Amino acid sequence: MAADNDTTAGEGDSAEEKADVKAEDKAEDKAAPKAKNDDDGDGDADDADDVKAKPAAPAAKPKPAGEPNAKAKDDDEGDDDADDADDVKAKSTAPAVTPKASGEPKAKAAGAKAAAAKAIVDPRAKWILFLIVAVASLVADQATKIWAKHALETRRNPSQDLEYTKELEKRIDPNTPPEQRRAALEKVPCDIPEDVIVRSVPNLPAGQPKRYWAPCSGVPSPVITNYWDWELSMNPGSAFGLFSGQGFARVFLSIVGLAAVGGMLWMLKKSRADQKILHWALAFVAGGAVGNLIDRIVDGVVTDFILWHYHDKRWPVFNVADIVLVVGVGLMFIDIQKEGKREKEKKKRRAARAKAAGLVKKLSDD
């Protein structure tokens, strides 16, 4: 019995102790909050159960290439040491990246375009063009002159040279009656080009001014009435009848023609490949000069056959060579104007570049 009482008393004491412990735990819970990570209520936030119960942290996203890590930029081995030998070696072998200027792509594109344009232009092209245009002008001139000599009509002029008249009478029938002799002389065919060449009248009385006369002259053939005729004429002078009365004209103008052709070739050699207008001009001038030069060498005179006039007011007779000469000279003036503008723009660009580089100061800065 005594033993049972002791046992009962021990159990009562134990129950009281448990009640006291629970009361103390409740008091501590009220005084201090539980740990945030204490999931099982044991007050220990770092035990294995709580760590296991934590949600898994999301995996870090891979960073794009070239983006710097939180570690040192030059740390390739992950040892937080950016200055070790391996990292320095890798840095020295990496290719250097040069920053591009804002206008560099445009400048490269313009340079490539200019280079392509230069590659397309054949340096022989200007010579080919010159040869084609000059030969075409020459052929057109000589062909029309041959046509004019054979197709256009001529007539006899009243003779002003007794010696010439005597030579002419030998070409008619000696049995011609005197009253028909003049008409017979007028029907004698003209020798081309000799009889159409204007010459001075010989054996004039002393004190009389010098006169000029041609045994034959061309008969006008209207193309546009009162404005344009075909009329054969032999010109011992230059274009449009200039220097026609000068005895030295043949030799002097032949030398001038040769010099002109040589000058055209020299200018063509010095010209740029993009000066198309000048190339055409030089070819026209050379073709016209050679056309008239051939006439002077072969006949001693230049064959003209185009007559522009307004009723009785006549422009000097000319030919195809004179036309291409005038066109060529006109194109030269156009090229001169164009080159003048080009030089002005070039100077402006140079001044702008010098100003941008600080080589030229503004007047306001002085």
Of 249, 243, 246, 283, nearest to 140 by C-alpha is: 283
Candidate list 295, 299, 322, 335, residue with the active-site label:
322
Helix residue ranges, H only, 187-275: 249-270
Cα–Cα distance measured from residue 361 to residue 212, given in angstroms and rounded to the nearest whole number: 71
CA distance 228 to 155: 20
Phi then psi for residue 246, to 5 deg, are: -95, 135
Instruction: Extract the tokens encoding 41.
Output: 């209520």
HSE on the CB side for 51, CA within 13 Å?
Answer: 3
- Measured CA to CA, the distance from residue 166 to residue 240 in angstroms comes to 33
Kindly indicate the confidence band of residue 308, based on its pLDDT and cuts at 50, 70 and 90.
very high
Q: Active site includes 81?
A: no
* Annotated catalytic residue within 229, 295, 299, 304: 304
> Is residue 88 pLDDT above 80, yes or no?
no
Residue 67 has pLDDT above 90, yes or no: no
The pLDDT value given to residue 220? 94
Place of tokens 């019995």: 1
Task: Pick the closest to residue 249 from 302, 183, 201 (CA basis).
Answer: 302
Give 3-30 pLDDT, tens digit per residue. 444 444 444 445 555 555 566 666 555 5
190 φ, ψ to 5°?
Answer: -80, 140
69 pLDDT more than 70: no
The share of the chain scoring above pLDDT 90, in percent, equals 31
Structure-token match 């490949």, residue found = 273
Is 304 a catalytic site residue? yes
Cα 65 versus chain centre, distance:
47
Q: Report pLDDT digits (tens) over 229-278.
A: 999 999 876 554 455 545 566 677 788 888 889 999 999 999 999 999 99
Helix ranges restricted to H, the chain: 2-31, 48-53, 85-93, 104-120, 125-151, 162-169, 178-186, 249-270, 276-298, 320-356
What proportion of the chain, given as a percentage, has pLDDT over 70? 61
Across 46-73, average pLDDT? 48
On whether the CB atoms of residues 222 and 229 are closer than 8 A, the answer is yes
